[in-house]
Amino acid sequence: MAGRKKRAATGRPYHHGHLREALIEAALAEIRRSGSTGLSLRAVAQRAGVSAAAPYRHFQDKEELLAALAEEGFTALASQMEEAGARAANARERLEILGQAYVSFARSHPEHFRILFGPELADLERHRAAQAAGERAFALLVDAVERCQEEGSVRRGEPRSLARAAWAMAHGLASLAVAGRLPDAEETVPRSLSLFAAGLGPLDRAGGRGEA
């Protein structure tokens, strides 16, 4: 009569109840400890207080767990960007802030960020949920570009195409920072982003040169 279930002896019931979420959280804790490369399904299971085979009731694969982490990550990234972007005075500033938030997320959660673009999830078609979450984040950029165009602070052109370029800029800074190749990120990131934003500007004068 001690426990509310029969399992008073061991302390916890046979069924976990929220194992899937618990595994995701345990995995996040685990990559913080030992990196995204060294992530071991067994360690995750143990941290969640469950046997090594238990995760297979919720994930087909280790890869599918990683995909779940990616979905989580993309969602967190998007909401962090959204929150940061809300503090912008105009569309142009908002676009730059989104880029900064992108890099900022990568630098605060490097191991998590790595998973989003890691080799295990190279073909994202097979992980629709993660893919969708990623596209939701990308949509923020597209929207920001469109607003800039309305505002007149970004040249005309396919917003998706321009947003892809902006994404690549931010992603490059984020990747290099995470790879430890951007020692003075604090300076380099905003400088690079505003450099890029200058190129995005309308064709008043600059950019009309270049290709014959």
Which residue number, 107 or 164, has a Cβ lying nearer to its own copies? 164
Which residues contribute to the site for its own copies (CB under 8 A)? 35-37, 92, 96, 111, 114, 117-120, 122-124, 134, 153, 161-162, 164-165, 167-176, 179-182, 187-188, 191-192, 194-201, 204-207, 209-211
By CB under 7 A, residue 13 contacts DNA: yes
Q: Which does 56 bind (CB under 5 to 8 A by kind): its own copies, DNA, none?
A: DNA
Least spacing, CB of residue 89 vs its own copies, in Å: 10
By CB under 7 A, residue 43 contacts DNA: yes
**Secondary structure (H, E, C), the chain:** CCCCCCCCCCCCCCCCCCHHHHHHHHHHHHHHHHCCCCCCHHHHHHHCCCCCCHHHHCCCCHHHHHHHHHHHHHHHHHHHHHHHHCCCCCHHHHHHHHHHHHHHHHHHCHHHHHHHCCHHHCCHHHCHHHHHHHHHHHHHHHHHHHHHHHHCCCCCCCHHHHHHHHHHHHHHHHHHHHCCCCCCHHHHHHHHHHHHHHHHCCCCCCCCCCCC
The footprint of DNA on residues 45-84 (CB under 7 A) is 45, 50-54, 56-58, 60-63
Which residue number, 53 or 168, has a Cβ lying nearer to its own copies? 168
